[in-house]
Structure 1
Amino acid sequence: MSLNKNKISIYFSIIFFSWSFAQQKRTVSDTTEVNPLDEVVVKGESNVMSLSKKLFTVGTINRKDIDNLGGNNLADILYNNLNISVNPDASTGRSTVSLFGLDGQYVKILVDGIPVISDNGVGNNIDISQINIDDVERVEIVEGSMGVLYGDNAVAGVINIITKRGLKNEGWELQLSLQEETVGNEFEFFDKGRHIQNFRATNQVNEKLSYAFGVSRNDFAGYYNDYKGKNYVNVQDNIVVNDSLRGTEWNPKEQITASANVNLDLGKHNIFYKLQYFNEDLDIYNHTVNGRYQNGSLNPTALDENYKTDRWVNNINVSGPLKGATQYNFSLSYQNQKRNYKEFIYNIIEQQTQSVEIDALSQSSDVWYSKAFVNSILPKSRLFDLQLGYEFTNQSGFDANATGAYSNEVVTNTITNYELFGITEFQPTKKLSINPGARFTHSTQFDNHLIWSLSSNYNFSEKLKLKAVIGSAYRAPNFEELFYYFVDANHNVQGNPDLQPEDGISLFVNLKDNFKIAKEGYLNTSFNFFHIYLKDAITSITTEDDDGRTLFTQDNIDYSARLGFTLDNSFIYKNWNIGLGATYLGVKNDISESNTNNDAYLWSLNLQSSLAYKIPKWNTTVSSQLKYTGETEGIFSNDDGETFIGLTEAFTWLNASIRTKLTSKLNATLGVRNILDVVNINSVASAGSHTSTTSTSRLIGNGRSYFLKLSYNLNFKH
């Protein structure tokens, strides 16, 4: 049962596109509702961080924004953010995030202040499509190098996901949601499209104790895009014709997330424990079909692949007062991830597995993590205060992909970091505060590192405020960069265990003000200047090994810089909320700083706008979001290990939705993603001093998609 969407497309485009396109030379800060990228206190309701908002400008995406977007995982809700790009990979099914053009290795992702485990790292290069947000209260975004507070890889910024804790009143809350979504113009209830089910139950036993549990299933059937599916074969005159149309453009996957938590208040002390299990089943269909004869008849097969990921997360946080206003915060986490790889021969006619060629553990990671700090150590001093803390990370494991096609020489490695940090606060006047900070890191893999930061605030008035933050951070090499090994008669590709972390420094200056316009109108505006400098960046190089063979490896030779300005505005008038914003971003990448002859930045304009209108009479909110991403510069590598600087073309992303309350317990959200039907964007890489260029096309979307989400909430007392 396929879904014809032409008439629906025209209908939605007329209503929403007319609203949003009129705003495309302006932009929104972050989301669709009343608080686009509001500044919040980082510690928030869950007390996972305890530093004042004086230190950073913090943006937030709240629960209402998430619901309006019909978001199910982190990738769904970050598409609309001004300085964030979501980078999907159709072949692996992974989606990573970049900030100011720096990829996911430079952005640290936390859940309740604790770094998320990834395939070969902790907190960075996370597959954000694997992070379910059904139990999320809000998402916080901090831009700039945040190494003093968050350690390695917090070079471009930090994304912190705050989960829900308890209810306002004693009793039960049961939440059930069903979501059906097309993938482009493809939809069938079982075999095509996207099918999502969520269930969550919360019990507030009394004012001190609550617990919750839930499960979510996200079934993505893949994106065919002219491919013919798993069971397709082209047979002509009893001969298999390899037209490369078997399989799908985007590979199908099923994700299941189950979680439980307990929140306990013991006097003034709080204990929060969270347990989560995640499973992903990813199928990769080979486009090539093998024409085989068996017992005199044609029996075509294909060599397919399957990845299964299992992840367990155990987090506990304890916080409370030590004495007076002095507070402590302690976190301990154990996370384990295993990914199994299977390569098998699939019989297309019989539609079943014929034989298994490889069935092995592909990747394994075990991470112990702990962080603790004490703040307001000198609460009686008006001029001076201090926060001190430590962070400990122990990661061990292996990645068989990084050792050359599941060889027997699997590299197992352990990296341990011991870190101490401190933040001081000087407040010479009521309007001025100065906050210097430092972190010392001792690593078993790398040289010792000292990270520093300095932030300052000056409040001209209650509304007009100036904030400046300068700080450093470093990006640690990932597992593949350190230990990749693929050597045979035709290949000599190896990681470099002597790599050192990349060093980054950023400067952010923020000026914000808010105005009352007319009787019921408010305008919040924020201007930002930023500069990010990255040296000793890791890149692919070509050299020789000890035997004189050509060696493709990694080294610290690149450098990169970002320079830009951001203007964010949000206007609220009665039931209207309009967000307008723009970033003018300059990027400069050089393969070798000493040899560069190009000191110019490549500038691009990024725009964002959002519009939301609430209809109280109908309990309905209508919203749309538009984001324009200008031409960007990046560094590309080819199969021979050569590195080039190239350009990626501009594109525009447009979403729209209607959220309405059908009854006191039932809500419905109807929406459209990617109204402009963006599927591919082109990149052109220049070979430096050579005249040749390489052009590639990258999949970033799966076409214009429609979704309908039904949410049922039931609350009752004990």
Structure 2
Amino acid sequence: MSLIKNKNLIYFLLFLSSTLGAQEKEKDSVTTEKLKEVVVVGETNVMSVSKKLFTVGTISRKDIDNVAGSNLADILFNNLNITVNPDASTGRSTVSLFGLDGQYVKILVDGIPIISDNGLGNNIDISQINIDDVERVEIVEGSMGVLYGDNAVAGVINIITKRGLKDEGWQLQLSLQEETVGNEFEFFDEGKHIQNFRAINQVNEKLSYSFGLARNDFAGYYNGYKGQNYVNIQDNIVVNDSLRGTEWNPKEQITASANIDLNLGKHNIFYKLQYFNEDLDIYNKIVNGRYENGRLNPTALDQNYATNRWVNNINVAGPLNGATKYNFSFSYQNQKRHYKELIYNILEQTTQSVETDALSQSSDVWYSKAFVNSIISKSKFIDLQLGYEFTNQSGFDANATGAYSNEVVKNTITNYELFGITELQPTKKLSINPGARFTHSSQFNNHLIWSLSSNYDFSEKLKLKAVVGSAYRAPNFEELFFYFVDANHNVQGNPDLEPEDGISVFVNLKDNFKIAKEGYLNTSFNFFHIYLKDAIASITAEDDNGTTLFTQDNIDYSNRLGFTLDNSFIYKNWNIGLGGTYLGVKNEIQENETGNDDYLWSLNLQTSLAYKIKKWNSTVSAQLKYTGETQGIFNNNDGEQFIGITESFTWLNASIRTQINSKLVATLGARNIFDVVNINTAASSGAHTSSTSTSQLIGNGRSYFLKLSYNLNFKH
């Protein structure tokens, strides 16, 4: 790949460098506040993750605005240990943490897990999560099963919603964003077109409410393909050159939401209502050349997926007695995905007929969580937190490999869980927190999840934190109940799957230093080890009729071992971050096969820079991330699994954000400056499919964006 492919990139980099250079002579400094932590002792607020028990990283609203992120995928791309995995065909983007995929990472909104296609909280399509009303994003690395249940093995991502205004009155927010996709852009037809509107009313000190609407139109990434209305006709004959359609499929997303925040004395009630709609088109690259009434009538069999999701979340929190406090959350979420198979008339540019129109996926989730903390608040040596969690999920998924099965099987999973954490503080510097969660599932045997965390404060600044506990993951809805059987397919889940289990260890040592009068250095060192046994993977078997069956089984184990060093430096107008992770991965597909016993080690680096230009009221920022070779379990074209090594790549984003006046802000920038489009995966030594090699689309070219944000504030 070439770093510089067009003059636009040169002009953009020269603009940034000249801007920085011009400000070297500027002697005036801005007051830089030291980064503040939102410390939640004993998790007194269900919205946040407890920083007393875990090491929590925070992406602030300012960070989100600097990169002009429109969805969660845009802002997680630059995180050191997170990899965003986009799928060009389905339009989905999931995350992996320490090389463990989205099944091992739990994603929450205000402490409540998000519904997905096949589960709750895991394997979430993060490109569907609009962040217009987000205050911050918390990222916790390490197994958190005691507090957040199964499948929080690699970590938790918690999205915190904005709540109210400082003063009484209204705030109206409007933003427009236009973005190229590679070098492709036309209003309405190519590129990305994003609009957001939000209104917030702080009625009084006790009541506020807000509502908003967001639209994200992604016209697809052509990358040499010719689009929906392309057909190659030569000598009155259709020639199938496979150039119809797009490399990345187009989709349009609509998000509507409303929040109410009410304080009744010392008690707080927060309600969030959200509706999400996504419309995804898949254009068939094969064109049918038919003659009708004596003339050529080329058509294509296209597909459309329409996803509709409703979310109702309510949280009530307040004191019970003295320092003892309660948190109660309740949620009902529903998601349905409709599938259409249609014949598209290319010359007339209309839908000729609809062959299939069906509901291919449906999920209904009832969820509740509550806990009481500081139960023994009068004691200086011991405290206790107790809680419960309830989940009931029912539904089906009848869609696979782009086709539809008319036979659906609806199933239900119900979980009842009790958990508790004890805080022991033998000295002022040392605290020990043993915890346990008892899980009863309608699908699995009873299970005990445990953890032991400890904090030791050498000084006010130098602190040591260690967490060891269960790495427990239950099979998701798809792995258990997927059903797609017809004349050509036999793909079924396995209701006899057992949960994965293992152990994780995380150790964190952090310190901060004051440098000169206006400088601060925060440094953090982490060691981690995650061991998983009985990992779930796809296998090929036979059903009762002797037909080849593609299903799931417990046959794998996986190890993650690594070290992370993360630093942030703040000095006058500068805010610089630099971090690195040395990660070792070892996978085994089958216990009776001997693979490579050595870890595959990879080096991941991330650096960020933000420079405040006081004279222009602007901030210039850039983020550079290097992802080294990674090992994982992949599927080849035949659906067989193999252990493969994915090549390294480097990602660079840059932007400048300018406050034009008190109401208008402009953000100009570029993403994927190194123009990464795809990376290769090849079978590693010891895998049973040694000749396997695949290519994965990971980017849609170097893109440029301009975002205009308008805020209007007025009192009642």
TM > 0.5 fold call: yes
Q: Offset of 1:84 from its aligned partner? A: 0.2
Residue type of the alignment partner of 1:13 = L
For the Cα contact (< 8 Å) 1:36–1:579, is it kept in 2?
no
Partner of 1:75: 73
Residue type of the alignment partner of 1:551 = L
TM-score (norm 2): 0.95
Q: Offset of 1:502 from its aligned partner? A: 1.2
Partner of 1:11: 11
For the Cα contact (< 8 Å) 1:50–1:375, is it kept in 2?
no
Partner of 2:27: none
Q: 1:230 aligns with which of 228, 231, 238?
A: 228
Larger displacement relative to structure 2 (671-680 or 635-644): 635-644
TM-score (norm 1): 0.95
Partner of 1:574: 572
Distance in 2, matches of 1:15 and 1:188, equals 24
Distance in 1, matches of 2:48 and 2:673, equals 41
Q: 2:625 aligns with which of 618, 624, 627?
A: 627
Per chain length, whose mean CA-contact separation is higher, i.e. which structure has more relative contact order (CA < 8 Å, sep 6+)?
1
Residue type of the alignment partner of 2:312 = N
SS in 2 for 1:77: helix
For the Cα contact (< 8 Å) 1:403–1:410, is it kept in 2?
no
Distance in 1, matches of 2:225 and 2:18, equals 34
For the Cα contact (< 8 Å) 1:37–1:58, is it kept in 2?
no
Partner of 1:109: 107
Residue type of the alignment partner of 2:495 = P
For the Cα contact (< 8 Å) 1:314–1:334, is it kept in 2?
yes
Larger displacement relative to structure 2 (399-408 or 264-273): 399-408
Distance in 2, matches of 1:19 and 1:332, equals 50
Distance in 2, matches of 1:138 and 1:313, equals 20
Q: Offset of 1:422 from its aligned partner? A: 0.2
For the Cα contact (< 8 Å) 1:36–1:61, is it kept in 2?
no
Percent of aligned pairs with the same amino acid: 85
Please show how residues 198-277 of structure 1 align to structure 2 within 5 Å: 198-277=196-275
Q: Offset of 1:39 from its aligned partner? A: 5.0
Unaligned runs of 5+ in 1: 21-32
Q: Offset of 1:35 from its aligned partner? A: 9.2
- Count how many residue pairs are aligned between Structure 1 and Structure 2: 703
Q: Offset of 1:688 from its aligned partner? A: 4.1
For the Cα contact (< 8 Å) 1:34–1:577, is it kept in 2?
no
Residue type of the alignment partner of 1:6 = N
Distance in 2, matches of 1:145 and 1:47, equals 20
Partner of 1:393: 391
Partner of 1:612: 610
Please show how residues 512-591 of structure 1 align to structure 2 within 5 Å: 512-591=510-589
Distance in 2, matches of 1:687 and 1:644, equals 10
Partner of 2:179: 181
For the Cα contact (< 8 Å) 2:676–2:700, is it kept in 1?
yes
* 1:498-518 deviation digits (Å, cap 9, x = unpaired): 001111321110111111112
Q: 1:425 aligns with which of 400, 423, 426?
A: 423
For the Cα contact (< 8 Å) 1:644–1:688, is it kept in 2?
no
Partner of 2:665: 667
SS in 1 for 2:75: helix
Larger displacement relative to structure 2 (514-523 or 568-577): 514-523
> For residues 34 and 630 of structure 1, do their structure 2 counterparts lie closer, same or farther at Cα, with a shift above 3 Å needed?
farther
Task: Give the superposed CA RMSD.
Answer: 2.2
SS in 2 for 1:482: helix
For the Cα contact (< 8 Å) 1:511–1:528, is it kept in 2?
yes
For the Cα contact (< 8 Å) 1:148–1:473, is it kept in 2?
no
Residue type of the alignment partner of 2:446 = N
Unaligned runs of 5+ in 2: 21-30
Partner of 1:27: none
* 1:80-126 deviation digits (Å, cap 9, x = unpaired): 00000000000000000110000111100000000000001000000
Residue type of the alignment partner of 2:316 = V
Partner of 1:190: 188
Partner of 1:407: 405
Q: 1:128 aligns with which of 115, 126, 133?
A: 126
Q: Offset of 1:375 from its aligned partner? A: 0.2
Distance in 2, matches of 1:279 and 1:102, equals 28
Larger displacement relative to structure 2 (439-448 or 633-642): 633-642
Q: Offset of 1:6 from its aligned partner? A: 3.1
Q: Offset of 1:557 from its aligned partner? A: 1.1
For the Cα contact (< 8 Å) 1:167–1:204, is it kept in 2?
yes
> For residues 74 and 52 of structure 1, do their structure 2 counterparts lie closer, same or farther at Cα, with a shift above 3 Å needed?
closer
For the Cα contact (< 8 Å) 1:434–1:457, is it kept in 2?
yes
For the Cα contact (< 8 Å) 2:636–2:694, is it kept in 1?
no
Distance in 1, matches of 2:348 and 2:639, equals 42
1:356 aligns with 2:354: yes
Partner of 2:283: 285
Q: Offset of 1:539 from its aligned partner? A: 1.0
> For residues 310 and 683 of structure 1, do their structure 2 counterparts lie closer, same or farther at Cα, with a shift above 3 Å needed?
same
Please show how residues 48-87 of structure 1 align to structure 2 within 5 Å: 48-49=46-47, 52-87=50-85
Q: Offset of 1:419 from its aligned partner? A: 0.3
Partner of 2:23: none
SS in 2 for 1:299: strand
